[in-house]
């Protein structure tokens, strides 16, 4: 089985979600199913069907998170250094055409969150940045086309 790279913070968030699902949400949905059963005929009981659907989602997510946390390779970016882009790096780049600056942290697939500047290691941007250093110009090919960026800084925070 392959290991799944994940930052220390990302692992903690996944573990917290898993514990919430097991200790809070699973018991709540079991109670909701029991309450819906008391209403009688289950064929036309919308509350029962909604609770069962929610239970199915929760159980699936628990299995997924258990698999991910069990195979996680936890990497703490704060213990790393250098100016070469690697997993866990926070990279500031500038679009060479528009002068628009962006900052991304390269994280695992399960913790990616573009709205918070966290991009997956398997994304086109991360693939284009890995192995490059501060001051390098890179061409990143995305579904929207190619774009030229310059790496302004690489930090491990």
Does 87 lie in the same domain as 17?
no
Does 45 lie in the same domain as 27?
yes
Does 85 lie in the same domain as 66?
no
pTM of the model: 0.84
Q: Which domain holds residue 18?
A: 4-75
Domain of 62: which CATH number? 1.10.287.180
- Into how many domains does the chain fold? 2
Does 62 lie in the same domain as 15?
yes
The residues that bridge with 90 in the sheet, in sequence order, are 105, 155
* Final residue in a domain of this structure, among 42, 75, 108: 75
DSSP state of 132: -
Strand 90-95 and strand 145-155: the pairing is antiparallel
Residue range 1-25, pLDDT digits in tens: 589 999 999 999 999 999 999 999 9
Does 83 lie in the same domain as 45?
no
pLDDT for 39 beyond 90: no
Cα gap 25→13, rounded to integer Å: 16
In this structure, of 39-43, 122-126, 150-154, the range with the lowest mean pLDDT score is 39-43
Quickly count: other Cβ atoms within 10 Å of residue 50's Cβ: 14
Residue range 84-142, pLDDT digits in tens: 999 999 999 999 989 999 999 999 999 999 999 999 999 999 999 999 999 999 999 88
3-class DSSP assignment, residue 41: coil
Does 93 lie in the same domain as 55?
no
Does 87 lie in the same domain as 114?
yes
Sheet holding 137-142: strands in order across? 118-120, 101-107, 90-95, 145-155, 137-142
Domain of 109: which CATH number? 3.10.50.30
Does 83 lie in the same domain as 70?
no
Structure tokens at 98: 């528009």
Cα gap 1→61, rounded to integer Å: 20
Q: Nearest to residue 67, comparing CAs of 107, 10, 30, 110? A: 110
Handedness of CA 137, 141, 147, 152 (dihedral sign): negative
Does 96 lie in the same domain as 57?
no
Supply φ then ψ for residue 102, to 5 degrees. -140, 150
pLDDT of 1 reads 56
pLDDT of 50 reads 92
Strand 118-120 and strand 101-107: the pairing is parallel
């Amino acid at each position: 089985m392959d290991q799944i790279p994940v930052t220390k913070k990302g692992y903690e968030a996944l573990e917290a979600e898993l514990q919430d699902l097991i200790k809070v949400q699973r018991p709540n949905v079991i109670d909701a199913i029991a309450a819906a059963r008391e209403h009688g005929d289950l064929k036309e009981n919308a509350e029962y069907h909604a609770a069962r659907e929610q239970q199915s989602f929760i159980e699936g997510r628990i299995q997924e998170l258990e698999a991910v946390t069990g195979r996680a390779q936890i990497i703490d970016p704060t213990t790393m250094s250098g100016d070469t882009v690697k997993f866990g790096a926070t990279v500031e780049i500038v679009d060479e055409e528009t002068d628009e600056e962006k900052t991304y942290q390269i994280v695992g697939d399960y913790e990616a969150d573009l709205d918070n500047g966290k991009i997956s290691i398997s994304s086109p941007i991360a693939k284009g940045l890995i192995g490059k250093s501060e001051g390098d110009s890179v061409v990143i090919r995305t579904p929207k086309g190619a774009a030229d960026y310059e790496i302004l800084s690489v930090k491990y925070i």
